[in-house]
Amino acid sequence: MAVKERVGMVVSDKMNKTVVVAVENRSPHPKYQKIVVRTKRYKVHDEQNECKEGDRVRIRETRPLSRTKRWTIAEILGHASES
């Protein structure tokens, strides 16, 4: 079975060992073909508390870690100061 991965932006790092990552999905509207942007927010496990707000990260699906947390940080693609 393939492991699900997403790339998104850290929008909150206020919790301990958890960050909120917003993932944008851009797809054309079925009838009008205008590009529609949908955003989904995931609670993501960050064991070392190394992600900061504004970082671009790759997240990977994992077993349930809490009631709402089912994703973990795979890698940090870019820090907020670099962007």
pLDDT band for position 1 (cuts 50, 70, 90): confident
Q: Is the model's pLDDT at 82 over the cut of 80?
A: no
Tell me which fold the domain 5-78 belongs to: OB fold (Dihydrolipoamide Acetyltransferase, E2P) (2.40.50)
Domain boundaries, the chain: 5-78
Q: Which helix (H) or strand (E) holds 3?
A: none
pTM: 0.90
pLDDT digits (tens, 9 = 90+) for 29-47: 999 999 999 999 999 999 9
DSSP assignment letter at 2:
P
- Residue 43's nearest CA partner among 13, 77, 76 is 13
Q: For the purposes of burial, counting CB atoms within 10 Å of the CB of 44, is it exposed (0-12), middle (13-18) or buried (19 or more)?
A: buried
